[in-house]
Structure 1
Amino acid sequence: MTERYDLTVIIPTFNEEENIAAIIEAVNGVFSENGINGEVLVVDDSSKDRTISTVQGIAGRRENVRLIVRKEDHGLSQSVVEGFGEARSEILQVIDADFSHPPELIPRFYEAVRDGADIAIGSRYMKGGDIEQWPLKRRVISLGATAFGRMLFPEVTDPVSGFFAVRREVVAGAPLAPRGYKILMEVLGRGRWRSFVEIPFVFKDREEGESKLRADTIVDYLRQCAGIILFAATRRAGPVYNEWTKIVRFGLVGLSGIFVNMGLLYALTEIAGLYYLISAAIAIELSIVNNFVWNDVWTFKSARDLRFGRRVQRLASFQAVSVGGLVINMAVLYALADVAGVYYLAANLVGIFVAFAWNYVVNRHYTWKNL
Structure 2
Amino acid sequence: MTRYSLTIIIPTFNEIENIENIIIAVSGVLKNSGIEGEILVVDDDSKDGTVDCVRELLKTHPELSLIVRPDDHGLSQSVVEGFQKAKADIIQVIDADFSHPVELIPKFYSAIKDEGYDVCIGSRYTKGGDIENWPIKRRIISLGATVFGRVLFPEITDPVSGFFAIKKEVVYDADLKPRGYKILMEVLGKGRWENFKEIPFTFRDREEGESKLKFSTILDYIGQCTDIGVYAFRHRETNVWKEWKKVIKFGFVGISGIFVNTGILFALTEYIGFYYLVSAIFAIEASIITNFLLNDYWTFDGGNNSRMAKKWKRFVSFQVVSVLGVVINLAVLFILTEFIGLWYILSNIAGIFVAFIWNFFINRNFTWRRG
User: Where on the TM-score scale, by shorter chain, does this alignment land: which range?
Assistant: 0.7 to 0.9
What is the Cα deviation at residue 215 of structure 1? 2.4
Q: Which moved more, 1:72-81 or 1:212-221?
A: 212-221
2:24 counterpart residue number: 25
What is the Cα deviation at residue 224 of structure 1? 1.8
Maintained 8 Å contact 1:151/1:360: no
Q: Do the aligned partners of residues 65 and 321 (structure 1) sit closer, same or farther apart at CA in structure 2, a change above 3 Å counting?
A: same
What is the Cα deviation at residue 105 of structure 1? 0.8
Provide the TM-score with structure 2 as the length reference.
0.76
Superposed, 1:2-151 pairs within 5 Å as 2-115=1-114, 116-151=116-151
Residue by residue over 1:47-70, the C-alpha shift from the partner in whole angstroms, topping out at 9 and shown as x without a partner, is 232222222222233222222111
What is the Cα deviation at residue 191 of structure 1? 1.6
Maintained 8 Å contact 1:7/1:110: yes
What is the Cα deviation at residue 367 of structure 1? 2.0
What is the Cα deviation at residue 181 of structure 1? 1.4
Q: Do the aligned partners of residues 84 and 211 (structure 1) sit closer, same or farther apart at CA in structure 2, a change above 3 Å counting?
A: same
Superposed, 1:238-253 pairs within 5 Å as 238-250=238-250
Provide the TM-score with structure 1 as the length reference.
0.76
Maintained 8 Å contact 1:3/1:88: no
What is the Cα deviation at residue 43 of structure 1? 0.7
What is the Cα deviation at residue 286 of structure 1? 9.5
The residue type equivalent to 1:87 in the other structure is A
Identity of aligned residues (%): 62
Q: Do the aligned partners of residues 27 and 352 (structure 1) sit closer, same or farther apart at CA in structure 2, a change above 3 Å counting?
A: farther
Q: Do the aligned partners of residues 204 and 319 (structure 1) sit closer, same or farther apart at CA in structure 2, a change above 3 Å counting?
A: farther
The residue type equivalent to 2:167 in the other structure is R
1:217 counterpart residue number: 217
Q: Do the aligned partners of residues 324 and 97 (structure 1) sit closer, same or farther apart at CA in structure 2, a change above 3 Å counting?
A: farther
Q: Secondary structure at the match of 1:165?
A: strand
Maintained 8 Å contact 1:128/1:201: yes
What is the Cα deviation at residue 131 of structure 1? 1.5
How far apart are the structure 2 equivalents of 1:325 and 1:78?
Answer: 41
Residue by residue over 1:254-303, the C-alpha shift from the partner in whole angstroms, topping out at 9 and shown as x without a partner, is 78999999xxxxxxxxxxxx9xxxxx999999997897677567644655
Residue by residue over 1:134-179, the C-alpha shift from the partner in whole angstroms, topping out at 9 and shown as x without a partner, is 2223223322332333333333332221111112222222222211
How far apart are the structure 1 equivalents of 2:100 and 2:225?
Answer: 24
How far apart are the structure 1 equivalents of 2:4 and 2:10?
Answer: 16
1:156 counterpart residue number: 156
Maintained 8 Å contact 1:99/1:206: yes
The residue type equivalent to 1:185 in the other structure is M
How far apart are the structure 2 equivalents of 1:243 and 1:361?
Answer: 11
Computed over aligned residues only, the root mean square deviation of the Cα atoms, in angstroms, reads 4.3
Superposed, 1:301-312 pairs within 5 Å as none
Considering only CA atoms, is the larger Rg found in Structure 1 or Structure 2? Answer: 2
How far apart are the structure 2 equivalents of 1:283 and 1:14?
Answer: 61
The residue type equivalent to 1:243 in the other structure is E
Q: List gaps (5 residues or longer) in structure 1.
A: 262-273, 275-279, 330-344, 346-350
How far apart are the structure 1 equivalents of 2:170 and 2:180?
Answer: 20
What is the Cα deviation at residue 93 of structure 1? 0.8
1:368 counterpart residue number: 368
2:272 counterpart residue number: none
Q: Do the aligned partners of residues 251 and 218 (structure 1) sit closer, same or farther apart at CA in structure 2, a change above 3 Å counting?
A: farther
How far apart are the structure 1 equivalents of 2:42 and 2:187?
Answer: 18
Q: Secondary structure at the match of 2:59?
A: helix
Maintained 8 Å contact 1:151/1:247: no
What is the Cα deviation at residue 42 of structure 1? 0.8
Maintained 8 Å contact 2:9/2:82: yes
What is the Cα deviation at residue 26 of structure 1? 0.6
How far apart are the structure 2 equivalents of 1:322 and 1:118?
Answer: 35
Superposed, 1:200-349 pairs within 5 Å as 200-250=200-250, 299-300=299-300, 314=314, 316-318=316-318, 320-321=320-321
How far apart are the structure 2 equivalents of 1:137 and 1:291?
Answer: 39
What is the Cα deviation at residue 28 of structure 1? 0.8
The residue type equivalent to 1:54 in the other structure is C
Maintained 8 Å contact 1:162/1:184: yes
What is the Cα deviation at residue 97 of structure 1? 0.6
Q: Do the aligned partners of residues 304 and 4 (structure 1) sit closer, same or farther apart at CA in structure 2, a change above 3 Å counting?
A: closer
The residue type equivalent to 2:240 in the other structure is V
